[in-house]
Structure 1
């Protein structure tokens, strides 16, 4: 768990963290549930490094011998 939290920080992960913190601040300031949900979503993605950042969710293009 410690390895997951403190390694592999890239620019998109930092942007998600900043946007999640901003949304959390807005949720408390304006007492809006939607901002709280957005904050939870982006903070979860930033902390656990999930999501489709940097084309990690794309399907790999593996060629088989039959296709060549």
Structure 2
């Protein structure tokens, strides 16, 4: 767990952590304590490198199929009028 916290820091992760801390500080200043929970959530996700921003929500690329021989052998016939 500690290895996850101290490794793979990049600019986006630092920005997310900063925004989470900023939400915590602002919510305490304005006495909106429900937002402290949101700030802890944002900061925690950045601190532990979790959520979609860490690449966990990525969709694998589509692999296009090439035409096979069986597709070339398909025959069509016209429907009568």
**TM-score normalised to structure 1 length:** 0.78
Give the TM-score taking structure 2 as reference length: 0.67
Higher helix share: 1
Gaps of 5+ in 2: 67-81
Structure number with higher relative contact order (C-alpha < 8 Å, ≥ 6 residues apart)? 1
Gaps of 5+ in 1: none
Between the two proteins, the alignment pairs up a number of residues equal to 65
Q: Which structure's CA Rg is the greater one?
A: 2
- RMSD after superposition: 1.9
Once the two structures are superposed, the pairs formed by residues 1-68 of structure 1 within 5 Å of their partners are: 1-53=1-53, 56=55, 57-63=57-63, 67-68=65-66
